[in-house]
Amino acid sequence: MRVGRVIVSSFAYRGTMMASTDNLRLALLAWYDKHARVLPWRVQPALRALGMAPEPYRVWLSEIMLQQTTITTVKPYFETFLLAFPTIADLAQAPLEHVLTYWAGLGYYARGRNLHACAIAIDGVGAFPTHPEALMALSGIGPYTAAAIASIAFDYPVVPVDGNVERVLSRLLHIDAVLPAAKPIFRAAASQFADSHRPGDFSQALMDLGSVVCTPRKPRCQECPWASSCLAYQAQDAETYPRKAAKKIRPNRYGAAFVHINDDGVLAARRKDSGLLGGMLEVPGSEWTDQPKSESEALAFAPIQDAPWQLASPIEHIFTHFHLHLDVYVAHSQRPDNAHRVAISALKDAGFPSVMMKAIKSALMASDLKM
């Protein structure tokens, strides 16, 4: 590992004297003032210079939504969510089921449940905590999110470290330590940039630099305000950083989904609050196991045993820790019942998670029906 000493402001590594942290900060802030991305939750640097402060609710909501999710995906969800819940009090007072309906499709549904619990806690005390440690005591807020909220919303002098920041620092300093085990090294490196001068803008500038310029492939080094100090740029090996451990193979899991349709719509139920997809709507299904089920084994889980079940096209869905394969069964009945049904015309807005929508779409396609 090339970087083994405590990082100091002069950044002396391998005989190379780099610019001071102060100079690097100022160069990045000057770049950010010209090139900051326009995002719906962000107060642009020119407006911040005029005294406009970020709204903590918007900062927090965006950071939770952006966990494991791209900006392109988040933008429309963010705007729709704010229309439904304009203030944190509105969010805290809404039923969890209603909140999860607006979260459907964003994935990682524990975030939606934690968001609601966090809103209740904050509304109860009347204000957001401003210190990272106090923020981490809230549901769904870890070290990165706490640092991001504290710096962006409250100008607390801390630097949040996400994948973009790790990539920038690994290249700037030629950090050979392997992620994720090396995260403490990157946090120590980032901490050297913490400063009371525009900490929120600096955090967002560092995020933008990693997203727009210091990209994983084909980084735009000629546009980087740190290029003259970057060891990876000097060595022309930027794409080899950061060093990462080999990815684990994602295991396969198998199951069956049952889409029962009558004149009232699709049979649905709500999952228990805890666990994967907790609190979300679902169509009935089997357990998910590491071995495929035969048709007879799968049909033992059918919610209506005497229904005329037929196979539709199977679907696949990738979760963080496994790859799910679902056989989809569809059946029709004219028989009315007292079960919970979702009208076909209301399926898109009902709040089914993506994996369930895939199963429903497969069943509707096999039935020549459209939402």
Phi and psi torsions of 295, nearest 5°? -60, -40
Q: How many CB atoms lie within 10 A of CB 103?
A: 24
Place of tokens 């045993």: 305
Catalytic residue (one of 55, 63, 79, 287): 63
Residue 63 is a catalytic residue: yes
Task: Tell me if residue 251 falls in helix, strand or coil.
Answer: coil
Give 6's Cβ-side CA count (13 Å radius): 2
CA dist., res. 44 & res. 54, Å (int): 9
Phi and psi torsions of 137, nearest 5°? -75, -10
Do the beta carbons of residue 160 and residue 198 sit within 8 Å?
Answer: no
Task: Tell me if residue 62 falls in helix, strand or coil.
Answer: helix
Bridge partners of residue 17, in order along the sequence: 12
CA dist., res. 310 & res. 194, Å (int): 61
CA dist., res. 21 & res. 11, Å (int): 8
Residues acting as catalytic residues: 63
